[in-house]
Structure 1
């Protein structure tokens, strides 16, 4: 096997592995890293032979309207605090530009007990 065929085979093997991983993590919240170094999080919606359709999350801040009469003082400043929203947009990415794929870890704020840990009296 020549060196060019070996590199061609390895490149397609990596793409095939990422395709299988994308199929496995479909409808999960994942972190994707592209070959150019950029990374983002999103939900894999559809996997094709050469592209991946992802719902990419973006943060949106609520606009303040100046004509509202609510002038209460809040911690850190005056007026109403700006509210933050999370919006998802559908984007297609070529499978060949994907470098890595990982599940987004969620941290629980407290341990979950399936039973009440204290005795009943």
Structure 2
């Protein structure tokens, strides 16, 4: 006895795509101690992907080796303030070998502007 299978296979495909920007983060990257990439490797990668776009800041911390900061942020806030904020709010959550992407949006507002 032969069984004939006359069923048809139907495929359903969902497809989506979007543009990405390199590097895949915009603001700050925190590099933990003993990260496999290392600060020199990441520095070279950034110079190829975004020449002159990020500033490497070496950090003296138990958990963090360095941070990469978008230079546009440095036009608005000082390196020391950035480090102070990251030490207080971010560094405590990083694990050895990790890379953390930090969204660091700055809003500047003025109030009570006097015009004479």
Q: TM-score, normalised by structure 1?
A: 0.24
Give the structure, 1 or 2, with the largest relative contact order (CA under 8 Å, sep 6 or more): 2
Q: Which has the higher strand share?
A: 1
Using structure 2 for the length normalisation, give the TM-score: 0.24
